[in-house]
Amino acid sequence: MKKVLLSIYALVIYTCAVSQQAITPFEKSSGKKTASYEEIIHFYNHLGKQFRTICLKVFHSTDSGFPLNLVLFSSDKTFDPKEWHKKGKIVVLVNNGIHAGEPDGIDASMMLLRDLANGKITAPDNVVLAVIPVYNVGGALNRNSFSRVNQVGPESYGFRGNGQNLDLNRDFTKNDSKNARAFAQIFHYLNPDIFIDNHVSDGADYQHTMTLLSTQHNKLGNELGKFLHDTLEPALYTGMANKNFPLTPYVSFEEGSPDKGWAAFCDPPRYSSGYTTLFQTIGFTSETHMLKPFADRVWSTYALMQTMLEETAKKSKEIINARKQSIKATQQQKDFPLSWKLDTSFHDIIHFKGYESGYKKSEVTGMDRLYYDKSKPFEKEVKYYNTFAGHQWVTAPKYYIIPQGWWPVLDILKLNKVEMKRLPHDSLIEVEAYRIEDYKSLAKPYEKHHKNYNVSVVKNTQKIKFLKGDYIINCDQRARRYLVEMLEPTGDDSFFAWNFFDAVLQQKEGYSAYRWEDVAAALLKERPELKKILEEKKLADTVFAASAAAQLDFVYKNSPYYEPAHLRYPVYRIPAN
């Protein structure tokens, strides 16, 4: 009997110790502190040892030198994503701390995973949860109390920039960071049905603690986009209202009244939810309101993730069927839009809880300044413009061909599980080739790049010699939409837009004018048709006629001496028909 009592006593002591260790820094501080990177990793290591439903995985390095961690929760204690999908389970991936000064999801996820593991929350059998505890490890290690001047709490937090001072929420397609490359590995390893990226917002003041940015449903398209807009989003709004955290769509106006409504954010692929769209994964970005108390923001994030698990469990078959249909439809799709335009002829009506705004004298400048009067709350129905039409359409080719010298692009394609083959021998192939006719570049750097935009091209058919080992990519594969949006040079977030192919924009060979004068004169005698075109251009263009340099350049660029690679986009197309 004495041994039994001692065993029970030891078990009680152990349970109390475990419980103490499973309390988060957020809870210990009564909602004033967020966990440090070291505390986060210690917490999950302990949780993994305590519960067989928790599994920790490590994915390569981040720019900080530390690995990217992934925490998995599966109620049946199995941790094979392929088996999850075979069994019809919904895979939900949560990303936290992409901006490490926005830590709400970090603390909410710690408590949620613990509560799922210890049974405080009933875990749905048909949903598994994967959590990146903190994505921006470098930012989390760069802790301070001042960089989020617009934000109320916590006492200290991480920094927006990562180990390279990159904003990781602009890096999902260009992959400048090791973080983004590790994320791609996690994403394709899991093949998630649902993705949530937890943030804190800036902008207008209003009553809502939680706002939600969803994958733009027209961009998601097919049955999946319709299911998101008509079924899943309304269920999330109802579930959050029932938890006393009424949702509103991500608020994109900063000043004045919402009486005219506002437009949804149409997320390009550089952002997380835009990237997931390329692979038919429903993406969400949660944005808690920066002026709400930190504790309220964390608990609203907890409530949103809990609601997501509940609603996806109820609708698992619908999600799986809609996603299968959308994947199949995308693989059969011929034409793709490369950009999107707001269609204001359609709108939803949403219930918005705001504050009256006005202007008063600034104590800093003495001039008028905006303020929100919290003594004057209001509730009203407003228009929400969430319909976008595809623009700048392009027909997908049967194949793309990329010379092996462009290995930075090829490496990213491989990272995203693009299937490709190498040419077995040197080959002369008839292809469609683009020539860059015009483009503009940002005057100032944006996330390490001077991004290209307003790109215009001319397409022609040429026979080009490719070398053994160059890559040929069949577009009839899972990554079809990703390939089109990334490899077409006029795409908003294409590799060309992000300067991966800028080397072709610079002419590598040239001439000395005095030497070219003699060669050009001989050339014009040999090619009277070129001489005629030159004379006609001089008659039609007085500026051209007055410039010897322009005329010499014109002849050069219409001669065999001009390098064919200049302005020729080095991704080639073999059309489907």
Write out pLDDT tens, residues 493-527: 999 999 999 999 999 999 999 999 999 999 999 99
* Cα–Cα dist 436/393, whole Å: 17
Question: How many whole angstroms separate alpha carbon 134 and alpha carbon 115?
Answer: 19
Q: Quote the CA–CA distance of 72 and 79 in Å, as a whole number.
A: 7
pTM recorded for the entire structure: 0.94
- Residue type at position 72: L
Q: Can you tell me the distance from the alpha carbon of 28 to that of 334, in angstroms, rounded to the nearest whole number? A: 56
Residues 6 or more apart whose CB falls under 8 angstroms from that of 323 comprise 193, 224, 280, 281, 282
Query: In this structure, are strands 54-61 and 262-263 parallel, antiparallel, or unpaired?
Result: unpaired
Residue 504 has phi, psi (to 5 degrees) of -75, -10
Q: Are 498 and 173 in contact (CB under 8 A)?
A: yes
Q: What is the pLDDT of residue 254?
A: 67
Query: CA nearest 164: which of 179, 150, 153?
Result: 179
Largest CA distance in the chain: 114
User: What is the model's pLDDT at position 253?
Assistant: 79
Q: What does the pLDDT read at residue 7?
A: 44
Q: What pLDDT score does 82 carry?
A: 98
Predicted confidence at residue 17, as pLDDT, reads 45
- Return all residues near 199 (Cβ < 8 A) that are at least 6 apart: 98, 99, 102, 104, 105, 169, 285, 286, 287, 288
pLDDT tens profile 271-318: 999 999 999 999 999 999 999 999 999 999 999 999 999 999 999 999
**What per-residue string of b and e applies to 233-261 under the rule 16 or more CB within 10 Å gives b?**
bebbbebbeebebbbbbbbbeeeeebeeb
Pairing state between β 368-385 and 348-361: antiparallel
Spatial CB neighbours of 349, under 8 Å, sequence gap ≥ 6:
381, 382, 383, 384
pLDDT tens track for 518-554: 999 999 999 999 999 999 999 999 999 999 999 999 9
Nearest to 112 by CA among 324, 210, 104: 104
207/289 Cα distance (integer angstroms)? 9
Mean pLDDT value of segment 548-571: 97
Q: What is the DSSP letter of 503?
A: G
Residue with tokens 């959590």: 131
Tokens encoding 81: 């994503």
- Nearest CA-CA partner of 75 in 87, 60, 67: 87
Each residue's pLDDT tens digit, 468-492: 999 999 999 999 999 999 999 999 9
**CA–CA separation, 26 vs 194, rounded Å?**
26
**64 vs 165: CA distance, rounded Å:** 10
Cα separation, 204 vs 355, in Å, equals 10
Give percent of the chain above pLDDT 70. Answer: 96
Among 453, 479, 489, which Cα is nearest to 572's?
489
Q: What distances in angstroms separate CA 483 from CA 224, 290, 394, 461, 493, one per listed residue?
A: 20, 37, 12, 21, 12
